[in-house]
């Protein structure tokens, strides 16, 4: 079956892809904006199509009965309205959004429930839970998906093909995306190298730097609260004979700058401290760390997967030498990331993958044009909306915290509230078993920590590094809010969380004893 794809020059409320097939003809609406008319580079603001031009460069008149193109606020508002609709629908959403499907006989309630229900550990969950796990991943912004679609459907050339138009236009789109990523962090586009994600970036940064300078640099400084891929990379280096200092953090999650400075030795080859912690949202003092590293002549690497697009980053002002970035943490696609690698003074790394020498030999493998274009679009949107998103998410965080604390006592905030990204709220509930609380909150998609280790029954190593006792670390819940989180979702999360905590405490003899004034720490449990 052949597909005829025609992109309009302005954005109607229902675009469609038509299949050239015998009657009856099917129309599958996309509800997304078309690419810009210029096919040599990615659209900068894909949700705002450009008007067609006359030969003299002036805008052409709109055809009769056509919908007017969207302006920026309209496109922004449309995407904010559409995404919750997509999220609520789940699988098969495009079929439900079709006008033909809307006219079809409605399925019975039991059929819809069977289709949308999921059984987890013997518990049937109907419908889609509220999504409050934005540190694990974020939904793709419709404007980002909009920018990616042409590179799946029509502009699908390999960006490394140098002999024809398909390769040229894909290469131009990749370079345009590279410039957008660089602009968000104040870097030169030549310092951005695309990878498969932040985990690969961290491996290249930590292992690559130390292996390149192995003859004179044999020591790494990092913290105990880093992401697992950084800690595992450091342990891997230890097996090769390198030395690693794992710095403790204060009770609020921040690194002690004096300890950091004292830990740097003449043979230290790298200092790696993450920008925003993925479990507790604490923002480290990047500028101060960068200053210390510059004075000591040591490259400074930061894992900024959770920071990109959420807090202002300037690699020059902060003295950052290497930085790991991720696409799916800022409403972009999964499977793409970027490594920032400083050119002046130049920092060298040993490539961790052999191949065709793409990305100037730093990371071999075909660059996935659609993913890179989406990453670039997500960075541009983040640059435009960062301040607004920060204010809005801060209000949601305060609403959630106040709502829970007004109805539940013995609630502890893990990590600094002053130095924190507001979209991450990590709470511990005393006298509540964490696994039971998570399973009870089946209508809210939350996490007990990093998505990479959330299946483990061990308490969070990040919380343990903060000095949180094991029983409290077991009861922690991470609420993640973002661009598309609504006040109604926050209020519902408050209601469900309060209900479940009270329910579990009613069944807890420890809570009854604590309320009766008994010091639980004074009890010798082995005698009972």
Beta strand 268-272 with 219-223: parallel, antiparallel or unpaired? parallel
- 100: Cβ contacts below 8 Å, ≥ 6 apart: 26, 27
CB 51 within 8 A of CB 60: yes
Give the distance between the most distant pair of CA atoms in the chain. Answer: 92
SS3 content of the chain, % helix, strand, coil (to 5): 40, 15, 45
Q: Which residue has the tokens 């006792």?
A: 469
- Rounded Cα distance, 358 and 60, in Å: 41
Q: Which residue has the tokens 């900024």?
A: 304
Of the residues 229, 293, 379, 452, which is catalytic? Answer: 452
CB 453 within 8 A of CB 413: no
> If you ran DSSP here, which 8-state letter would residue 364 be given?
-
- Rounded Cα distance, 460 and 465, in Å: 9
Record the tokens describing residue 426, joined without a space.
């990590």
**Residue 327, preceding bond cis, omega within 30 degrees?**
no
- Rounded Cα distance, 42 and 369, in Å: 10
Q: How far is CA 217 from CA 264, 283, 311, 318, in A?
A: 11, 28, 32, 23
- Rounded Cα distance, 216 and 298, in Å: 12
452 catalytic residue (yes or no): yes
CB 121 within 8 A of CB 343: no
Which residues partner with 223 through β-bridges? 247
The residues annotated with a catalytic role in the active site are: 452
């Amino acid at each position: 079956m052949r597909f005829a794809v025609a992109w309009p020059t302005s954005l109607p409320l229902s675009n469609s892809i038509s299949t050239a097939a015998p009657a009856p003809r099917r129309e599958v609406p996309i509800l997304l904006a078309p690419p810009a008319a210029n096919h040599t580079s990615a659209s900068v603001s894909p949700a705002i199509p450009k008007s067609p031009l006359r030969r003299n460069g002036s805008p052409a008149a709109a055809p009769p009965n056509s919908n007017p193109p969207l302006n920026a606020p309209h496109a922004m508002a449309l995407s904010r309205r559409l995404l919750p609709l997509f999220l609520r629908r789940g699988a098969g959403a495009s079929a439900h959004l079709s006008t033909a499907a809307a006219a079809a006989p409605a399925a019975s309630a039991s059929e819809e429930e069977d289709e949308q229900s999921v059984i987890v550990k013997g518990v049937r969950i109907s419908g889609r839970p509220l999504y409050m796990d934005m540190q694990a991943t974020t939904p793709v912004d419709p404007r980002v998906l909009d920018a990616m679609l042409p590179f799946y459907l029509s502009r699908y050339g390999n960006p490394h093909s140098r002999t024809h138009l398909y390769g040229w236009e894909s290469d131009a789109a990749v370079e345009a995306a590279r410039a957008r990523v660089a602009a968000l962090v104040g870097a030169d586009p030549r310092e951005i190298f695309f990878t498969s994600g932040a985990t690969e970036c961290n491996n290249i940064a930590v292992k690559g730097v130390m292996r390149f300078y192995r003859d004179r640099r044999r020591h790494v400084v990092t913290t105990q609260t880093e992401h697992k891929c950084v800690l595992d990379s450091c342990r891997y280096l230890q097996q090769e004979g390198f030395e690693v200092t794992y710095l403790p953090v204060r009770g609020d999650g921040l690194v002690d700058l004096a300890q950091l400075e004292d830990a740097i030795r003449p043979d230290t080859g790298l200092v790696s401290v993450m920008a925003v912690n993925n479990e507790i949202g604490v923002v480290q003092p990047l500028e101060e760390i960068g200053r210390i590293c510059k004075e000591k002549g040591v490259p400074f690497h930061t894992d900024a997967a959770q920071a990109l697009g959420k807090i202002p980053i300037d690699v020059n002002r902060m003295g950052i030498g290497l930085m790991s970035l991720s696409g799916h943490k800022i409403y972009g696609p999964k499977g793409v990331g970027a490594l920032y690698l400083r050119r002046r003074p130049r920092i060298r790394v040993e490539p961790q993958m052999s191949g065709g020498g793409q990305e100037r030999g730093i990371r071999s493998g075909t660059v996935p044009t659609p993913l890179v274009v989406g990453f670039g679009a997500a960075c541009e949107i983040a640059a435009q909306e960062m301040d607004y998103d920060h204010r809005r998410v801060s209000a949601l965080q305060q609403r959630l915290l106040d709502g829970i604390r007004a109805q539940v006592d013995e609630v502890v905030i893990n990590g600094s509230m002053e130095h924190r990204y507001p979209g991450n709220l990590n709470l511990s509930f005393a006298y509540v078993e964490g696994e039971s609380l998570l399973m009870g909150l089946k209508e809210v998609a939350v996490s007990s920590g990093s998505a990479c280790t959330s299946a483990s029954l061990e308490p969070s190593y990040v919380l343990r590094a903060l000095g949180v006792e094991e029983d409290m670390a077991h009861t922690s819940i991470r609420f993640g809010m973002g661009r598309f989180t609504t006040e109604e979702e926050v209020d519902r999360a408050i209601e469900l969380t309060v209900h479940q905590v009270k329910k579990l405490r009613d069944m807890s003899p420890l809570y009854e004893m604590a309320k009766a004034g008994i010091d639980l720490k004074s009890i010798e449990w082995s005698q009972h």
